[in-house]
């Protein structure tokens, strides 16, 4: 399965963030010592703070084991790993929230002397938080991909995981909006303040929600689910749409010229 994808959208471009290398087809090689999440490109790519990244890697490992078991026609074995993935992402968000609350604002000017190009750069709090939001989407996406299971225990677990992640994400978005400072005089005409602010990052999360909606709608159209699975997917579709509407309400898209 692919590694978690973290969409960190700045004002004019998106950077892909990866928690750990893609796992093998067999679902093995899920090293606990996976490298920190990094944003692709640039000379000194930011990495996700360890307090968050360790939980993201553990969630990825658990989700990898769950999908490997499912693909091996052993769905009952996937139940505990899905629970572990969900629990670790809940803890990842708690850690990201703490990072946002406790990290002091950056200095007004460059605090490092010239010639420090090799220094390690950690992701700022908004980018770290959005990374967790997108990891939550990836867990929802993987769960939706297994909803045709005939195993009642796994179906219950998948339904619970989808609901937990979508609810956590919705509450997180409301919290982000509640603590977001008003735009400063440095804000751009479109209302954003550049990369590293929620104002700049959150509008890009709509693309993640569109992907989630497309998957759910497509799966409902292409597969004949049980009544319970169909009801769960329809509920997930409504929650994803409600979340998209809320993001657009809090961070309206920039009107076209």
Alpha-carbon distances, residue 132 vs 4, 91, 207 (angstroms): 10, 10, 15
Q: Quick check: is 226 in a domain? A: yes
| Alpha-carbon torsion, ordered 93, 95, 101, 103, to 10 deg | -130
Q: Quick check: is 88 in a domain? A: yes
Q: Quick check: is 192 in a domain? A: yes
Q: Which domain holds residue 240?
A: 5-104+118-138+148-250
The DSSP string of 8-44 is EE-SS-EEEEESSPPPPTTS----TTPPPPEESSSSS
Q: What digits encode the pLDDT tens for the residues 136-195?
A: 999 999 999 999 999 999 999 999 999 999 999 999 999 999 998 766 544 444 444 445
Question: What value does the mean pLDDT of the chain take?
Answer: 81
Q: Distance between CA 123 and CA 131 in Å, rounded?
A: 10
Q: What digits encode the pLDDT tens for the residues 85-132?
A: 999 999 999 999 999 999 988 765 544 455 555 577 899 999 999 999
Q: What digits encode the pLDDT tens for the residues 12-71?
A: 233 333 333 333 333 433 333 444 444 344 445 579 999 999 999 999 999 999 999 999
Q: What digits encode the pLDDT tens for the residues 220-233?
A: 999 999 999 999 99
pLDDT at 181: 78
Strand partners of residue 39: 17
Domain count, the chain: 1
Q: Quick check: is 58 in a domain? A: yes
Q: Which residue has the tokens 């954003």?
A: 192
């Amino acid at each position: 399965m692919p590694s978690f994808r973290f969409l960190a959208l700045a004002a004019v471009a998106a950077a892909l963030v990866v928690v750990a290398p893609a796992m093998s087809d067999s679902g093995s090689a899920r090293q606990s010592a996976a490298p920190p999440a990094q944003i692709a490109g640039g000379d000194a790519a930011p990495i996700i703070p360890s307090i968050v990244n360790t939980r993201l890697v553990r969630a990825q490992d658990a989700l990898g084991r769950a999908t490997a078991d499912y693909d091996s026609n052993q769905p009952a074995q996937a139940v505990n790993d899905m629970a572990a993935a969900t629990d670790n992402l809940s803890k990842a968000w708690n850690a990201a929230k703490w990072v946002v609350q406790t990290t002091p604002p950056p200095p007004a000017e460059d605090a490092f002397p010239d010639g420090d190009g090799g220094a390690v750069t950690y992701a700022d709090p908004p980018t770290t938080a959005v990374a967790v939001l997108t990891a939550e989407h990836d867990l929802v996406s993987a769960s939706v991909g297994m909803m045709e299971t005939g195993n009642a225990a796994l179906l219950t677990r998948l339904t619970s995981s989808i609901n937990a992640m979508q609810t956590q994400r919705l509450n997180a978005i409301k919290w982000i909006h509640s603590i977001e400072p008003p735009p400063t005089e440095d804000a751009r005409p479109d209302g954003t303040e550049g990369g590293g602010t929620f104002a700049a990052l959150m509008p890009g999360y709509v693309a993640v929600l569109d992907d989630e909606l497309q998957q759910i709608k497509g799966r409902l159209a292409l597969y004949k689910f049980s009544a319970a699975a169909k009801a769960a997917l329809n509920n997930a579709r409504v929650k994803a749409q409600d979340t998209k509407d809320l993001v657009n309400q809090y961070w309206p898209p920039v009107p076209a010229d």
